[in-house]
Amino acid sequence: MLVELTQPASLSAEAANGHSQWQQWLNSSVKRLADASLLRSLHPVCTTLSPVEVDLSSVALKEWLDSIAPSSGSASTCLTSQASQGSIRLKLFSLNDYMGLSQHPAICRAAGDTAVQCGMGPRSSALVGGYTRQHQDLEASLATLKGTEDCLLFSSGFAANLAVVSALCQGPDAVIFSDALNHASIIDGCRLAVRSKGALQVYRHNDMAHLEELLQACPASKRKLVITDSLFSMDGDFADLHGLVALRRRYGFALALDEAHATLVAGDRGGGAAEMFGVASEVDIHIGTLSKGFGSHGGFVAGSSALKSFLMNRGRSYVFSTALPLPAVAAAQAAIIVCQQEPQRRQNLWDRVQQLGDLLGVAVQSPIIPLVVGDEAAALAASALLLRKGFHVPAIRPPTVPKHTSRLRVSLSAAHTADDIRSLAAAIKECNLRFLPMDQVLGMPASLRPGSSKM
């Protein structure tokens, strides 16, 4: 669908020309995305009582299939006939609800009770009037989980990364060292910092030798920040945290860790990858989200009280955002309690990870399991075939991942059962794919990659 701008009844010649330029630019931009098969679309689903299952109408399903593999007309017709009752149920292997908490009764009850008692809470930025005792209590709980002095809530994990990098690394005396595969929110934070005269160095993914070369070349007078995802969202591998800590001791930089995909998932208490690898006390800045393992919404930064004070005054994505709605705050607080009371949920998640790895014969490190096929068309066709069988496993392709590394990205949840995993593995095997080893894809020796058995 081409984009149209609303045009006033009467415009000057100059204004009409400007309007036309914008409309032409929007239309041509959308067309270029469509021609490159990069135009994304939305596919509305109907939720169920399971955090890993949704219902989808037959019409929406056919549109979804056509958007993945337009040439598979007969196959999509076959599936539509299966959905003659009006909808089919999809098993989702595409979400970030790693602990299966988004529909846990205690989390739903906490959010619902809070909505009835408090509504959404004060609708204002936290600094003006939106900060409540509930926000303060959740910050204290997150600081305890991360083993830090204090914590600051954000509207999202994206906003948290944006604030950390852009606020801390302003000025010509600041240098950022960022992993090449870091999340887009970190990249955008780096771009803002560079606009404020900070410097940026990008080191090859998990390559500690390359990072050390860059650190050695950096003047000792510079303020240095090294930032990395702890668990990488497209490759499912962990940062070399022991290597990073060793370099931190040698070069004295501040270490920031984005634990978006690892908080509540990794570590004996769910403290994240830093806890799992025993280095939590040597991480200066712990960044996270409440929308993945917590099953809620929002973000946070945990660290020193001085860090909190600075970010709440200089982090623009904090200062100029409305405080988190209280039902989301209550849900996140309840998620921490549930994970403390039900440690078997984390064990179940890691059992499912190992089960799928064993069934497919692939090495696994985390609940994010990339099945790299290389060819883009093959990945799309496999994703469409799995969708026809009732499994949503997205195909990830360039530019999200490098050329020739297109993949199926499987993400697992504690809500998946052993039968779910067996059914998925059987369906994947029917795709007749050959998976590339992740060591080859990442271009790094296996000795540098953390073992999959650790929790």
Query: Catalytic amino acids?
Result: 233, 261, 292
| Closest CA relative to residue 149, chosen from 336, 302, 314 | 302
Give, rounded to a whole angstrom, the gap between the first and last alpha carbons of the chain.
47
Six-digit token pair at 269? 């208490």
| Closest CA relative to residue 226, chosen from 158, 180, 163 | 180
Q: Give the whole-angstrom CA distance, residue 245 versus residue 232.
A: 18
Q: Give the whole-angstrom CA distance, residue 208 versus residue 229.
A: 14
Q: Which residue has the tokens 């914008």?
A: 22
Residue 87's identity, in one-letter code, is: S
Six-digit token pair at 154? 């954000």
Tell me the CA distances in angstroms from 363 to 255, 357, 416, one per residue in order. 29, 6, 19
Peptide bond into 399 cis (omega under 30): yes
Six-digit token pair at 113? 């009770």
Angle between helices 305-314 and 157-168 (to 10 degrees): 90
At 160, give phi and psi (nearest 5°). -65, -50
At 253, give phi and psi (nearest 5°). -85, 165
Q: Give the whole-angstrom CA distance, residue 148 versus residue 136.
A: 15
Helix (H) or strand (E) holding 27: helix 13-35
The partner residues of 301 in beta bridges, in order of sequence, read 152, 287
Does residue 265 sit in helix, strand or coil?
A: coil
